[in-house]
Structure 1
């Protein structure tokens, strides 16, 4: 028995010496080109230093970036979306799935114990028992009650690599959850500002319709007095009807935007209504941070990096298939030909070593299957590396787009404000001149149409600027705090 135990347990001591001999490649995050500064960034040295120190802005808490707009209604909508959005719930469920898979992979570190009870009916051949062909050899019923244990010694890091991959997968899912969360927050804010822009346009059209209705009354009175021809009356009615039709178009757009916002909040359009409210001009300055910090802040970049780590770990698991695999097994229990004698001390039995197969197995030839597995794992890793670098490039583009858009929108707004003032003055002058009879009513119509166009353009710029601020916040990872 002592010799047998040495024979069986010898590999255990060998495993202790070989344990930790992992064959997987060590993971290092691939390098990416990071510019020294954003092309569109116009930071003062003081602002840049505040960013480098990673100090949170006084106006915003990290994770609740929408509070910089000081809009209680937007804050309430964000809270509803975080609680009821179905895409966010699905992302959270995917995180739970990944954690369960990680737990399952880690379970391979532990021995597996099972127990069983049952009977088998068998008859061994006479030849196997050394009996003559005519010797009696009745079938035998054998009762067994035993517990078994099995454990794989992780000689070359197969289990460790699998656990590392599952851990990285979990971290990737967590980063993707944060990415979905940030995207949802940005979508809610952009939908909200779109509705507010349409509300402001609707108010603009409403006042224009009222003004043109009064103008039509004036024109009809002058026509009744014989001062003007019927042509001016027809033109006034046409402009009023055109403005009313455009106003209805704004109403349609607002309904569609409100329905989209309702879905983001996890509600049906029928159970959600947002009262009309004018859009206030957004005057929020977004500092452009150091490019290197973008790699740590963007959740989609973090997810892409964790995908690389998981793919790298799976290369190690694939390589481990080339090396020996050591499995320790054993069983202990009772065995008897009679059920009544099953639990007798004399019926005890044990087994050290595998019942079928071998304890230490080494693959010799498989037609290239293992090498194909390694090649597949390496190719997937290279794919994830390329995806990571592309995600980084896209992130820098998003920030540059946001910065340039805000810069140009600021200049456009200043010019547009001047255009609105000039158009309004021209409209007032045309009205005076028309009453005096020095210009035709066509001049009045043109002047009023220009005023409406310029004011609507100004409102659209305000809405676009608010949405661009949201998009830039999304691009830099959800704020600029720690």
Structure 2
């Protein structure tokens, strides 16, 4: 081909591409509106500011701080056998597989097609006309080895793959969030089991003391110091005391079933649980650089960050659809109309081939591409606002648990004083009754107050254990490191437009 002719063709092709680009459908005016909260400028309250700071985050196995080997074994068993965690793991595998499918689109696509059929040609003077194929039967066969390669000039495939990878990260962090929630649920149920056992111990002690008071009333009646009224008053609380014990046994059994279900086990496994032996010491503390470091520690916050990154890539994919798509296509094959069945494979004269670029240009689509871009930007705005809300909720959760822990610490002091007073009053009332200085009602009132204070002490202690677990969970529970999230630039809306040329 003459050099001038080849140069003319190249110039004409370039002008054609430029003219088509300038005439493509416009995406003008469709931009994201949501803005991320400035993490470093989020205000914190006094409980967070006054908390003891240290450079240490919750450990991976934060529940071991309770010092109960049975709890440690039960949480590990739940993490290994929980059906909910298995569902989250399967969702993660699905997301990673889909990311692999998206990555495969970057590679050249090669496929082979072949067709062999026995065909009879009719003798039709109007359609076929007279010819050598009229009223004949023979083999029709074709084969083709095709290759196509998307040049991805505008980054559509790259953005699509990045979106799939971000969604895989969303699934990964959601799996960690599910594990953290499971850990918290097991610990909370286990603490409730400990509280039920403490209640049972108090209720049994209450029943024993009431039975002792009944025996004492009968002794006083036998020696002429008591009355039948005292015996009746001593007998009256016993049926209710037995009923309370039965209710506590029911609560223990139900809590064991709950723990078994959380661990993916049958009720028989939970029935083997013994009385918990929990202990926890130390004041609540927070790591440094809160809330900034919280962004990379809590699985739900990290998941929302990856979701924002994924939706940002969706916008890039939608924008790329506004531009011409150029593919490189090649094929090599053969075909035959008559002859032997495999004649197309053995006859060199039947071979054919071709190679060249293909161009597809959106000229008019009734608003479909603008609608897709609008939906993508709306999804991005929703993801940003969900991220903002998740971050706000995360800080609220940390503050709530610190406030709760401080309050429970104060309550434990007050309850301790109240328990000492109730024990002293009960001892005095019992001694006065033995000496005949007071009636039986004073003993019952003092005894009831004592047991109420004992139960209140156990309940406040259980709430303290639960609140401390809640604080560890609010801080991420040690399941992530501070570099688990996407780069900050992936979340900025104004950078989305920088990936593609043309109008915005």
Q: With structure 1 as the length reference, what TM-score do the two structures score?
A: 0.86
2:48 to 17, 41, 45: 41
Contact 2:67-2:278 at 8 Å conserved across structures: no
- 1:350 is matched with which residue? 352
- 2:362 is matched with which residue? 363
Deviation at 1:276, TM superposition (A): 3.7
- 1:159 is matched with which residue? 157
- 1:450 is matched with which residue? 449
Deviation at 1:348, TM superposition (A): 4.6
- Verify: 1:108 aligned to 2:105, yes or no: yes
- 1:393 is matched with which residue? 392
Structure 1 residue matching 2:321: 3-state secondary structure: helix
Report the Cα distance in structure 1 between the residues aligned to 2:123 and 2:281, rounded to whole angstroms: 94
Deviation at 1:470, TM superposition (A): 0.6
Contact 1:353-1:359 at 8 Å conserved across structures: no
- 1:61-96 per-residue CA deviation (whole Å, 9 max, x = no partner) reads x31111222221111111101110111111010000
Structure 1 residue matching 2:105: 3-state secondary structure: helix
Cα distance change, pair 330–186 in 1 and its aligned pair in 2 (3 A): same
Report the Cα distance in structure 2 between the residues aligned to 1:391 and 1:71, rounded to whole angstroms: 33
- 1:66 is matched with which residue? 63
Deviation at 1:25, TM superposition (A): 9.0
Deviation at 1:270, TM superposition (A): 2.8
Contact 1:294-1:476 at 8 Å conserved across structures: yes
Contact 2:284-2:405 at 8 Å conserved across structures: no
- 1:263 is matched with which residue? 261
Structure 2 residue matching 1:110: 3-state secondary structure: coil
Deviation at 1:188, TM superposition (A): 1.0
- Backbone CA RMSD of aligned residues: 3.3
Report the Cα distance in structure 2 between the residues aligned to 1:234 and 1:392, rounded to whole angstroms: 61
Report the Cα distance in structure 2 between the residues aligned to 1:453 and 1:340, rounded to whole angstroms: 95
- 2:310 is matched with which residue? 310
- 1:330 is matched with which residue? 330
Deviation at 1:407, TM superposition (A): 0.5
Cα distance change, pair 292–125 in 1 and its aligned pair in 2 (3 A): farther
Report the Cα distance in structure 2 between the residues aligned to 1:467 and 1:434, rounded to whole angstroms: 41
Report the Cα distance in structure 2 between the residues aligned to 1:275 and 1:395, rounded to whole angstroms: 34
Contact 1:326-1:359 at 8 Å conserved across structures: yes
Cα distance change, pair 119–460 in 1 and its aligned pair in 2 (3 A): same
Deviation at 1:448, TM superposition (A): 0.2
Deviation at 1:458, TM superposition (A): 0.2
Structure 2 residue matching 1:342: 3-state secondary structure: helix
Report the Cα distance in structure 1 between the residues aligned to 2:141 and 2:453, rounded to whole angstroms: 94
1:78 to 75, 79, 87: 75
Which deviates the most, 382-391 or 269-278?
269-278
Report the Cα distance in structure 1 between the residues aligned to 2:393 and 2:123, rounded to whole angstroms: 73
Alignment of 1:135-146 (within 5 A): 135=131, 137-138=133-134, 141-146=139-144
Which deviates the most, 340-349 or 267-276?
340-349
Contact 1:324-1:361 at 8 Å conserved across structures: yes
Structure 2 residue matching 1:359: 3-state secondary structure: strand
Report the Cα distance in structure 1 between the residues aligned to 2:276 and 2:333, rounded to whole angstroms: 80
Deviation at 1:480, TM superposition (A): 10
Structure 1 residue matching 2:281: 3-state secondary structure: coil
- 1:430-464 per-residue CA deviation (whole Å, 9 max, x = no partner) reads 11111121211011100000000000000001111
Which deviates the most, 151-160 or 34-43?
34-43
Deviation at 1:412, TM superposition (A): 0.2
Cα distance change, pair 284–42 in 1 and its aligned pair in 2 (3 A): farther
Deviation at 1:347, TM superposition (A): 3.4
Report the Cα distance in structure 1 between the residues aligned to 2:370 and 2:283, rounded to whole angstroms: 55
Unaligned runs of 5+ in 2: 19-26, 482-504
Alignment of 1:236-275 (within 5 A): 236-275=234-273
2:185 to 187, 206, 219: 187
Contact 1:25-1:312 at 8 Å conserved across structures: no
Structure 2 residue matching 1:41: 3-state secondary structure: helix
Q: With structure 2 as the length reference, what TM-score do the two structures score?
A: 0.83
- 1:212-266 per-residue CA deviation (whole Å, 9 max, x = no partner) reads 1111111122223332222211111122222222222222222211111111111
Report the Cα distance in structure 1 between the residues aligned to 2:48 and 2:266, rounded to whole angstroms: 41
Deviation at 1:135, TM superposition (A): 4.9
Deviation at 1:340, TM superposition (A): 4.6
- Verify: 1:227 aligned to 2:254, yes or no: no
- 1:116-169 per-residue CA deviation (whole Å, 9 max, x = no partner) reads 22225486999999x9x5555436643223311122221212111111110110
Cα distance change, pair 186–305 in 1 and its aligned pair in 2 (3 A): same
Cα distance change, pair 174–246 in 1 and its aligned pair in 2 (3 A): same
Report the Cα distance in structure 2 between the residues aligned to 1:302 and 1:286, rounded to whole angstroms: 24
- 1:316-370 per-residue CA deviation (whole Å, 9 max, x = no partner) reads 111122111122222212323333533335235233259xxx9211111111111
Report the Cα distance in structure 2 between the residues aligned to 1:105 and 1:136, rounded to whole angstroms: 50
2:168 to 158, 167, 170: 170
Report the Cα distance in structure 2 between the residues aligned to 1:464 and 1:347, rounded to whole angstroms: 87
Structure 2 residue matching 1:142: 3-state secondary structure: strand
